[in-house]
Chain A
Amino acid sequence: MAEKLAMTMDGRQIEVEAGKTLLDIARENDIDIPTICFHEATTANGLCRMCVVEVEGQRVLQPSCIVKAGANMKVQTRSEKVIRARKTILEMLASTMDLSDAPDILSMMDEYGASHERFPDAERRESQVKDDNPMYIRDYSKCLLCWRCVQVCADDAQYTYAINFEGRGYETQIGTFFDKAIPETTCVMCGQCVGVCPTGALKPKREYLLELGKSPAEISVMNTGKKQRKVKG
């Protein structure tokens, strides 16, 4: 049996197993903490800071996906500071990228009363859809830099190292070696990056084409060089 310790979350005295993160504990106790970059299958990096909570005695807010429970810790998951940070992060996201394929984030924005127009005249991160392989497309206008694709491509799963980062700061974008097309990289088309993408920035090619209005029949012969099937009369 794991060691138990006592702590307080949102005023509730709870007994928890040592070694668990504050996020684990919140979820076990039906306390809702929003997350964006967190994924059970990838290493938690504490990037999005949506899961931050206020821990008594700590100068700055703490990422609950990483910080582990401590004895007698007093945690507030919805303090004024926490709410301001989450709302502002959501508003900055909306002013930065295309959230149209990210329903979870859109509902977080509703919940926190975050405005889509909070930052007028903000420079957005926009880029052309990269359609360079038969498996998936990359639309970095929809990328919120959760890093999951880079992580699963590297040490968190596939050890393929086809993608990494371009630029830094606000100019950061996921990219390949000198912007090579995917088939010219080490990509093995495992599809794990597409599976962990939370915003539709990486999308199966078929889904993308369907959204563009192509019919399944048209899609099935694309890129194959075959003659289009005739409907039997």
Chain B
Amino acid sequence: MSEFDLSLLKPALEKYISMGRPGLLPALHAAQNIYGWLSEPVAAEVAKALRVPLADVHGVIEFYAMYYNKPTGKNVIRVCADPACGLRDADGLLKKLCREFDVNPHQTHPELDLTIEPSPCLGLCDQVPAMLVMKGNHAIEDFGVDEAFRPISPVGGTLRMLTKNCGGETTSLKKYGEYSALKKAKAMSREEVVNEIKASGLVGRGGAAFPTGVKWEGALKAEGDAKYVICNADESEPGTFKDRILMLDDPHMTIEGMCIAAYAIGATKGYIYIRGEYPYIVPALENAINEAKEAGYLEDLDIEVRVGAGAYICGEETALFESIEGKRGFPRVKPPFPTTYGVFGKPTVINNVETLCNVPLIISMGSAEYRKIGTEKSPGPKLFCVSGDVVKPGLYEVAFGATLRDVLDMAGSVASGKNLKSVLFGGAAGAFATSEHLDVKMTFEDLRAAGLPLGSGVVMVFDDTRDMRDVLKRLGHFFAHESCGKCYPCQMGTQRQREILDRVADGNVQDGDFVRLQDVGWTMTDASLCGLGQTAASAVLSAMNLWPELFGADNN
């Protein structure tokens, strides 16, 4: 069968052979690029080349949603099915495309070699409804798209520190300027750099808000013959698109942040792990890495871009390590923590893109100046991803301490004639706020007091014409799709939660569903192994609190 002409594969696998198992994900990507999907002989060839057991290769293919072990088109259109796109009839778009190309979702159009499927959040929530056309052997015009489209997002706010080069084309090194913060850091001792980050009060911007300097200090002090720095660019939290903009519009800021982190802990190898749904950012990153290399900034740090393959869980740091190691993205039991036992069992610092972008700012201006931005307990600039029912969805940079009202005003607030119903804060793993929260300051301390998570900076707005049951149904489907299946509460709980939320959305609530949904939710929250399961019911439980009538509370 010419379709599986393995002579095409062998040269493509060449460069992954010496990597062994850690080369598995890149090797599978390379193989799938050739054939469109991963058939048995192709998977067996990859297994043989990389010396990975056959069953393990199959297990990895089966884990990641963007690897296919059944015939699939070389061209794939993914249509987002998550809440922000749902508000702008993403379901209708999927139906329209399927009708136009005369296929069902997940089916392949033979002549066009095209598969159309729904997708979890594509991180394009400011340009809804979003779809991602991944083209293989056909011209993009064949799919009704005028030209290759690079998303350019509206960027605004009262500050332009993190986003000073964002909102347009990709910033070249020439425009970015020299890595002056790196130069300044290298004139300091490693301890001084760590202390400066600690003194700045910077905490992680990916969602967990862990003090960055403490992380760095742990990895600096940890014993290890090799240390790693990882940029977590697996941004997959529904409603989040800040890291996409930072990396695509200004990749050098992230890379300079990584260089400083690597210097501070003594790492010589770095990874940028970027989600598979952002393929169009990879060339921008690789180009920037080459520019930095040529300018001599990467003499003691080798940065490799790793591309994920459709798994929200890989944003969880230990699952991300497993993925880099060529395994299914199962989160590990912690402790041990990454600072002592990270990727390949070595001391590792892993930071979110936005977190790393704060690093050059802190080093350049000094922690004392940096702390003048924001509040005492939440210093610095912060990005908010505003989507949903506002006039101008986009990325807004403010100093910590702006109120929700301020941020909504920047985005033009809800359209005239409509009123605010609620705001989903922090993403799918977040919680709902209402108009009562408009004057809450967007800081860690104020939001905590209001019972709202800052999460990854998601502000998804719903006006009063929206049916929140549809939003909840989408969240339920998202978590059921993304649970890795490792621990029982999340593996079964996300499925049971999805079933009950489907009933709620369909108006078919059964006796006892309210308490049932609560028990499932609290069991996931209290007993799950990782952050995914522990927050998979967070938005649902907050909605039950705000709108018990939606869940048939009267029947219980």
Contact = CB atoms under 8 A, between A and B. Distances in A.
Contacts of B485: 145, 165, 167-172
Interface stretch (B427-435, B439-447, B487-495): B487-495
Interface in B80-121: none
B43 interface: yes
Nearest to A185: B55
27 contacts: A36-B488, A46-B487, A47-B488, A49-B489, A49-B529, A60-B527, A61-B526, A87-B519, A88-B493, A89-B523, A92-B489, A93-B488, A161-B56, A165-B328, A168-B62, A168-B63, A169-B480, A169-B491, A169-B494, A169-B495, A175-B55, A175-B62, A177-B44, A177-B58, A178-B43, A178-B69, A185-B54
Contact of B56 (A48, A96, A164): A164
Contacts of B467: none
Q: Interface of chain A, helix or strand or loop or mixed?
A: loop
Contact of B492 (A96, A162, A177, A178): A96
Contacts of B529: 46-47, 49, 63
B163 interface: no
A170 B483 contact: yes
A176 B54 CA distance: 8
Contacts of B53: 154, 161, 164, 186
Contact of A164 (B58, B311, B499, B523): B58
A92 B58 CA distance: 28
B153 interface: no
Given A144-B488, A170-B483, A170-B494, 13 more contacts: A60-B534, A84-B523, A88-B523, A92-B489, A92-B520, A164-B59, A166-B62, A169-B480, A170-B492, A176-B55, A177-B40, A177-B57, A186-B55
Given A92-B488, A186-B54, A49 B528 contact: yes
A35 to B, nearest CB: 12
Contact of A89 (B333, B481, B482, B489): B489
Contacts of A39: none
B58 A178 contact: yes
A95 B173 CA distance: 57
Contacts of A175: 55, 58-59, 62
A89 B527 contact: yes
Contacts of B528: 49, 60
B487 A170 contact: no
A12 interface: no
Interface of B is mostly: helix
Interface of A: 36, 45-50, 52, 60-61, 63, 66, 81, 84-85, 87-89, 92-93, 95-96, 118-123, 144-145, 154, 161-172, 175-178, 185-186
A164 B529 CA distance: 21
B42 to A, nearest CB: 11
B46 to A, nearest CB: 12
Contacts of A61: 526-527
Given A49-B487, A123-B495, A123-B499, A166 B59 contact: yes
Nearest to B510: A120
B47 to A, nearest CB: 8
Interface string B320-354: 00000000100001000000000000000000000
Contacts of A88: 489, 493, 519-520, 522-523
A226 B467 CA distance: 69
B516 interface: yes
A36 B523 CA distance: 17
Given A164-B56, A178-B43, A178-B69, A85 B495 contact: no
A50 B519 CA distance: 15
Most B CB contacts (10 A, CB to CB) among A60, A93, A121, A165 go to: A165
Given A85-B526, A166-B59, A169-B494, A63 B333 contact: yes
A81 B526 contact: yes
A178 B311 CA distance: 21
Contacts of A170: 480, 483, 485, 491-492, 494-495
Interface string B456-485: 000000000000000000000000111111
A84 B58 contact: no
Which of B484, B489, B525 counts the most chain A CB atoms within 10 A? Answer: B489
B59 A84 contact: no
B555 to A, nearest CB: 13
A151 to B, nearest CB: 13
Nearest to B479: A169
Contacts of A186: 53-55
B62 A177 contact: no
Given A92-B492, A170-B495, A171-B485, A45 B333 contact: yes
B29 interface: no
B55 A60 contact: no
B186 interface: no
B198 interface: no
Given A84-B522, A162-B55, A164-B56, A47 B492 contact: no
B421 interface: no
